[in-house]
Amino acid sequence: MSFVLLALVLLLSVFSPARALWPLPRSLQTGSTALTLSPSFNIKLSVLHAPSDLLDAVARTKQYLLNDKLERLVVGRSSADTAAIAGAKTLSALTLQLTPGATARPITTEAQQAPEDRDEAYSLTVPADGSAALITADSTLGLLRGLTTFGQLWYFHSGQLYTLSAPVHVEDSPAYPYRGFMLDTARNFFPVADIKRTLDAMSWVKINTFHWHVVDSQSFPLEVPGFTDVASKGAYSASSVYTPKDVADIVSYAGARGIDVMVEIDTPGHTSVISKAHPEHVACAEATPWSTYANEPPAGQLRFTSDATTNFTANLLAAAAKMFPSKLFSTGGDELNTNCYAADPATQQALNASGQTLEQALNVFTQKTHAAIEAAGKTPVVWEEMVLVHNVTLSNETVVMVWISSDDAAAVAQKGFKIVHAPSDYFYLDCGAGGWVGNFPSGNSWCEPFKTWQKAYSFNPLSGLSADQAKLVLGGQQLLWTEQSGPQNLDSIAWPRAAASAEVFWSGPGGDDDAALPRLHDIAYRFVQRGVQAIALQPEWCALRPGACDI
């Protein structure tokens, strides 16, 4: 690159209006006029019968404007802009309005629709002359997304908020309707406050689905009405339980932030802990050596050949489904271990009696348990093995999560199922920390190496898919499995990395990661100002000098 071109790139990046926005709006026009926010700046809701969660979103936006105090990431920070700000025009108001004819339903209601039915589009205009800014949308959810973008425009200097990029015009809507983040609260427990903080962080980058892998073989922290013994005997402790009140609190907190909570009760594998309350339903519970019977300790899987176990599971799922308004409900279905069933007399006896194969019995179990959640108005979500390994008969509506490898998406699409991309080779946040099995010091994590934000950012949702198959892609998500994580490193392991997929699935793939880095620094520094401990991606010296740490 010539020095002239380099200088131009540096100049552009310094003045780039998009410097602060994440995910990048799909259409963005900006100027280079400085504009400050009036001390009496106000957000006006031009919405009849505005729902309370929209009012809350407005109040939250004002709070962020007051508290962020983020200086611009340039040498000298915002003091470099003193001259530019002096005498700038002042913005006194932002108006929110719905397009004529649109109904002001709660953000929560909009967010909890099926992914394809969510309307997150908005437009945002910030004139350069100080006249009122405007966000318009077809839905309150769209207004919320616009508020989020608006909140990223402003830097702090000496008591003032300012942008150097007026006028701003944004026309925005997501490339994909499902943009998720998965948290495993079973390997290690996370208090409600950690989940709420994570939901806040998600909302700041327009992630709209919290995939809550709430239970697993190690612990069952979800108190399900009618099945309270499973948690009371299966949680790590009485205080490591999500009560129905906690769940309602989390669902409501998420909804107000435009986030749907999709719970997963993983079945029939990953269920060892159910044996604590119901040993009759679990084969090879805590059998040793665990590595013969499970991918990780402890072993234990539901006896899906048993009618009693099938009914128990269907009822448990139905009861759990009632706790979550989402249209999606994940029944799991990963990593089924056949040794466990081969060694389980009860399972073998049942198979002999029925004359079924194990796969036939699994099919029956899945039909019945899926019927239970479908009766509750939910669409089932499963891990990829259910279609690629077990070939279970599933409704066409079923959503399949591709996790083992990004290469598996094509095979799932070939079978006509909707896809959520959750591939370990791009999106697993836990990879690369070494092995955690006790006596295997040289063990690597199975999904080595560490998945950098750049790796996640390079993901192409349509790779290997035909044009028709591409329509099956709902979106994707990064995931945190917590064998080596807990509240102690939740923020630092997730952020800002998990923002990478948020942009891939909002703005569309193909972003240049070198151009993205200054914006990602910006959002990470803003996260820290808001109390989420996003980590440094580079020395501050580099963060202040876009491009200077390129090689």
Which active-site residues does the annotation give?
335
Give me the least distance between CB of 262 and a copy of itself, in Å please: 23
Q: Is 251 left (phi over 0), alpha (psi -120 to 50) or beta?
A: alpha
Q: How many residues bind a copy of itself (CB under 8 A)?
A: 69
CB of 364 to a copy of itself, least distance (A): 31
536 is a contact residue toward a copy of itself (CB under 8 A): yes
User: CB of 175: closest distance to a copy of itself in angstroms?
Assistant: 21
Q: Identify the burial level of 381 via C-beta atoms within 10 angstroms of its C-beta, where 0-12 means exposed, 13-18 middle and 19 or more buried.
A: buried
Does 449 help bind a copy of itself (rule: CB under 8 A)? yes
| Of the candidate residues 31, 106, 244, 435, the single one contacting a copy of itself (CB under 8 A) | 435
CB 21 within 8 A of CB 152: yes
Strand pairing category for 379-383 and 399-402 = parallel
Q: Least distance from C-beta 426 to a copy of itself, angstroms?
A: 12
Cα→Cα distances 250→40, 144, 247, 264, 436, Å? 33, 18, 5, 15, 30
Strands 178-184 and 282-283, bridge-based pairing: unpaired
> Among the candidate windows 119-127, 305-313, 462-470, 511-519, which touches a copy of itself by CB under 8 A?
511-519
Sign of the torsion angle spanned by Cα atoms 315, 319, 324, 327: positive
Q: Is 509 in the site for a copy of itself (CB under 8 A)?
A: no
Nearer to a copy of itself, 248 or 549 (CB): 549
CB closer to a copy of itself out of 83 and 551: 551
Tell me whether residue 23 or residue 546 sits nearer to a copy of itself (CB atom). Answer: 546
**512: which 2 tokens?**
């240049």
Q: What is the DSSP letter of 133?
A: E
Among 117, 397, 407, 514, binds a copy of itself (CB under 8 A): 514
Instruction: Single out the segment in contact with a copy of itself by CB under 8 A; choices: 127-135, 175-183, 349-357, 532-540.
Output: 532-540
Instruction: Decide whether 280 or 550 has the Cβ nearer to a copy of itself.
Output: 550
Quick check: 2 binds a copy of itself (CB under 8 A)? no
DSSP letter for 235, please.
S
Contact present, 413 and 468 (Cβ < 8 Å): no
x/- binding map, residues 38-77, to a copy of itself, per CB under 8 A? ---------------------------------------x
Q: How far apart are CA 507 and CA 515, in angstroms?
A: 14
CA distance to 144, 158, 349, per residue, from 86 (Å):
31, 12, 83
**Which of 100, 345, 355, 438 touches a copy of itself by CB under 8 A?**
438
Residue 477's SS3 state is strand
Residue 508 identity (one-letter amino acid): G
Task: Report the residue from 152, 267, 482, 507 that binds a copy of itself according to the rule CB under 8 A.
Answer: 482
Minimum distance from residue 201 beta carbon to a copy of itself (Å): 13
Q: What DSSP state is assigned to residue 402?
A: E
Q: At how many degrees (to 10) do helices 140-151 and 192-204 cross?
A: 80
Q: For 68, how many CA atoms within 13 A lie in the half-sphere containing its CB?
A: 26
Does residue 483 touch a copy of itself according to CB under 8 A?
A: yes
Query: In the bound complex, what is the minimum distance in angstroms from residue 221's beta carbon to a copy of itself?
Result: 11
| Shortest CB 335 distance to a copy of itself, Å | 15
CB of 16 to a copy of itself, least distance (A): 15
CB of 463 to a copy of itself, least distance (A): 16
Q: How far, in Å, are 12, 71, 406 from residue 515 at the CA level?
A: 10, 20, 25
- Is residue 547 a contact residue for a copy of itself (CB under 8 A)? yes
**78 contributes a contact to a copy of itself by CB under 8 A:** no
Instruction: Considering the complex, state which of residue 259 and residue 282 has its C-beta at the smaller distance from a copy of itself.
Output: 282
Amino acid sitting at position 403: W
- Beta-carbon contacts of 84 under 8 Å, excluding residues fewer than 6 positions away, are 34, 164
* Phi, psi dihedrals of residue 203, rounded to the nearest 5°: -65, -30
Choices 110-118, 139-147, 292-300, 348-356; region in contact with a copy of itself by CB under 8 A: 292-300
- Give the dihedral sign, CA 399/400/403/407: negative
Site for a copy of itself in 235-274 (CB under 8 A): 236-237
Say how far apart CA 337 and CA 505 lie, in whole Å: 33
Does residue 343 touch a copy of itself according to CB under 8 A?
Answer: no
Contact status: 82 vs a copy of itself (CB under 8 A): no
Binding mask 484-503 for a copy of itself (x = CB under 8 A): xxxxxx-xxx----------
- Return the structure tokens found at 493: 């392991």
Told to check if 442 binds a copy of itself by CB under 8 A, we report yes
* CB of 435 vs a copy of itself, minimal distance in Å: 7
Structural tokens at position 20? 């602060």
Other CB atoms closer than 10 Å to residue 4's CB: what's the count?
8
Distance (Å, rounded) from C-alpha 527 to C-alpha 70? 10
CB-based burial label for 131 (10 Å; 0-12, 13-18, 19+)? middle
- Stretch in the footprint of a copy of itself (CB under 8 A) among 131-139, 145-153, 290-298, 304-312: 290-298
Of the pair 307, 513, the CB lying nearest a copy of itself is at 513
- By the 10 Å C-beta count (0-12 exposed, 13-18 middle, 19+ buried), 441 is classed as exposed
Cβ distance to a copy of itself smaller for residue 129 or 448: 448
Contacts (Cβ under 8 Å, ≥6 apart) of 274: 220, 230, 234, 281, 282, 300, 302
| Site map 161..200 versus a copy of itself, x via CB under 8 A | -------------------------xxxx-----------
Per CB under 8 A, does 510 bind a copy of itself? no
Is residue 529 close enough to count as binding a copy of itself by CB under 8 A?
Answer: no
Query: Can you give the binding site for a copy of itself, defined by CB under 8 A?
Result: 77, 186-189, 217-219, 236-237, 289-291, 296-298, 432-442, 444, 448-452, 454-455, 457-458, 482-489, 491-493, 513-514, 517, 528, 533-542, 544, 546-551
